[in-house]
């Protein structure tokens, strides 16, 4: 009986330690993904500005961008449905996705000044950190943030299609800030959901990779939105 009582006394501490390990694993995978994407983006930008001859660079780069975009669509389905398969391993599609994203983000190294890229990264870290803190420390159910965030995201996509035909600068700003607000809300929800998963004791390597993939997407999409905002401000 004494042993059982001791087990019950320390059980919350064991669950807390397991949850912390899961969170560390998730953010560790996401951080590695960021580093891989940054390295690939820098390397690709360097190759197409300093190594590959300019007469073949444009066509080759366009083909690379198209190929990376198609690959990402395939990998999203692989990761999304692969998390539910037993015996599957998501490390390969996750790694491939970070490489493909690096190829796509290399366009920023070709079109944006380095100080602007650095400013974008710094602001992204601040905003992402703030929303992650909201999600992690929140004591209430944040499922509503996902509904609002997805609504804003779908609305911004719909408006961007309309703006593609009319070319309104004002509507462009609305789309930009709506999509930025969407990813802020979704980031808070994702971190809250990951904390809930860590507390449930349902941790696994594939689940950690899937959660890391969500965090990775949130950060990258937020980075792209902030880059767009700063670029639009600079052009005014």
Of 67, 95, 66, nearest in space to 79 by CA = 95
pLDDT at residue number 48: 83
Of 30, 42, 51, 52, nearest in space to 102 by CA = 42
DSSP percent split of the chain into helix, strand, coil, nearest 5: 90, 0, 10
Are 90 and 209 a contacting pair, CB within 8 Å? yes
What's the whole-number average pLDDT of the chain?
85
Of 106, 108, 78, nearest in space to 91 by CA = 78
Q: Two tokens at 29?
A: 């995978």
C-alpha R_g of the chain: 20
Q: List pLDDT tens digits, range 33-62.
A: 999 999 999 999 888 887 776 566 777 888
**Rounded percentage of the chain residues whose pLDDT exceeds 90:** 54
Q: List pLDDT tens digits, range 118-175.
A: 999 999 999 999 999 999 999 899 999 999 999 999 999 999 999 888 888 888 889 9
Residue 148 has, within 13 A of its CA and on its CB side, a CA count of 12
Q: How far apart are CA 183 and CA 49, in angstroms?
A: 32
Pick the more confident residue, 14 or 25: 25
**Rounded percentage of the chain residues whose pLDDT exceeds 70:** 87
Q: List pLDDT tens digits, range 92-126.
A: 999 999 999 999 999 888 888 888 999 999 999 99
């Amino acid at each position: 009986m004494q042993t059982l009582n001791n087990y019950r006394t320390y059980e919350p501490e064991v669950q807390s330690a397991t949850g912390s390990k899961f969170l560390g694993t998730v953010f560790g995978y996401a951080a590695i993904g960021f580093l891989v994407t940054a390295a690939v983006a820098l390397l690709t930008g360097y190759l197409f500005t300093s190594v590959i001859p300019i007469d073949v660079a444009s066509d080759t780069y366009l083909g690379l961008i198209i190929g990376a975009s198609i690959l990402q669509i395939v990998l999203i389905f692989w990761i999304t449905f692969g998390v539910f398969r037993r015996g599957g391993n998501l490390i390969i599609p996750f790694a491939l996705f970070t490489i493909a994203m690096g190829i796509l983000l290399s366009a920023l190294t070709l079109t944006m000044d380095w100080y602007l890229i650095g400013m974008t990264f710094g602001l992204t870290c601040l905003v992402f950190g703030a929303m992650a803190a909201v999600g992690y420390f929140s004591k209430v159910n944040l499922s509503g943030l996902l509904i609002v965030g997805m609504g804003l995201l779908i609305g911004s996509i719909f408006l961007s299609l309309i703006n593609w035909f009319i070319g309104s600068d004002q509507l462009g700003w609305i789309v930009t800030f709506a999509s930025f607000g969407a990813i802020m809300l979704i980031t808070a929800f994702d971190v809250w959901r990951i904390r809930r998963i860590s507390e449930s004791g349902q941790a696994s390597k594939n689940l950690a990779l899937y959660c890391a993939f969500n965090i990775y997407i949130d950060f990258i999409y937020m980075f792209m939105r902030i880059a767009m905002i700063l670029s639009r401000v600079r052009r005014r």
